[in-house]
Structure 1
Amino acid sequence: MKKIFFLGMLIAFGFSNAQVKFGINGGFASATVSDKYDDLTAGYYAGLFTEIGLGAFALQPAVNYVRINKDSYVQIPVMMKFYFVPKVNVQVGPQFAFRTGQVPATMNKTNFGVAVGLGADLVKGLFIEGRYAFQLNNALNSPPSGQKLHFNLFNVGLGLRLN
């Protein structure tokens, strides 16, 4: 019990000293279907994020609107950023994408995946980042035996911390 209390106090202390920043981001978005990288489709994304700085680490949840061809998504990445050198970070975390509009009954409306990326701070408040998300769940709803379909998403763009 003491260990759990001590761990809770460390986490609470860490968040009480955290720097919280808000911002906007946007850029290029694309999707690949399953492992066929030649089926690349292109579009854009734009959204809002919060960055909670914890020293050499930062937690960055975001909400993005993604438009690729005729499909649109609400994308929610929750990235943990590790600054391995000042102003350059590696990112990893879960990413959720919810299809908006008409979705055929044979398709899942929700995409769950793991994203990895790289980012760099450019000038005060401005940064660039690239991220690739691997879909973990099957995009097909009740598929025939053995059939799988994945939409892997790639984003690269700019962000601006507003405070």
Structure 2
Amino acid sequence: MRQKFLSLTVVIFLCATGFTQDDPLQSALLGFKGGLNFATVSTENLDSPDFRTDFYVGLAAEAMLTEKFGLQIETLYSRQGFEIRHQFREKRTVKINYIQVPILVKAYLLEGLNIQGGIQLGFKLNGEIDDSLLVNDMDLESDAIKSFDFQLASGIEYKFKNGFFMQVRYSYGLSEIINDSEIHNSVLSAGIGFMFY
């Protein structure tokens, strides 16, 4: 999995380098970011899953296609999952760590302020379920967590002239994180970062 992470990182750097050399793109920036995930799941098969709060960190490359529209590709290490009160009110925690690759279109509404939307590819690094969970009469174990998650993502960001930025983003998993479970990732994240000019 480290090789996948390194490969994705190299792709981002190559894209950023290529973007700066081709004329149709107005400019290209490379930076880093990090923040908090407020992760849970969307499902009718678990009773009121709670948020699991953890962090994400990674790299981002932004290329402006026009004066107002750009493309952003990221590679993030993202700690997700959820918590739930299970039988006899015992709390169970599901931890899933991903390499997330958001591919987003950005539209600048005002100077520095932009909205963004696109897809996000999630590659599971590892998963852990405290004891076991029952979903649809199935006893779920850690190895039942799928290795890939396809999501939609959208957010809002403000970037200052010095390269510092703040953003809030929401992503929703279109694929189930466990087969035949109807459980989908649902993650709100908030963070900061810096783009090098």
Local SS of the residue matching 1:108: coil
> What is residue 182 of structure 2 aligned with on the other side?
148
Kindly provide the amino acid, as one letter, of the partner of residue 149 in structure 1: I
- Total equivalences in the alignment: 145
Q: Structure 2: any 5+ residue segments left out of the alignment? A: 1-21, 82-94, 129-141
> What is residue 8 of structure 1 aligned with on the other side?
none
Q: CA offsets, 1:41-94, max 9 Å, x none?
A: 100011001100121011010000112474311011111110011110011000
> What is residue 97 of structure 1 aligned with on the other side?
122
Question: Aligned partners of 1:113, 1:68: CA distance in 2, in Å?
Answer: 13
Q: Structure 1: any 5+ residue segments left out of the alignment? A: 1-14
Identity %: 28
Local SS of the residue matching 1:101: strand
> What is residue 82 of structure 1 aligned with on the other side?
107
Kindly provide the amino acid, as one letter, of the partner of residue 111 in structure 1: D
- Pick from 23, 27, 32 the counterpart of residue 16 of structure 1: 23
- Aligned counterparts, 1:1-150, within 5 A: 16-18=23-25, 19-34=27-42, 39-54=50-65, 55-68=67-80, 70-102=95-127, 104-141=142-179, 143=180, 147-150=181-184
Q: Tell me the C-alpha RMSD between the 2 structures.
A: 1.9
Question: Aligned partners of 1:137, 1:151: CA distance in 2, in Å?
Answer: 8
With the length of structure 2 as denominator, give the TM-score of the two structures.
0.68
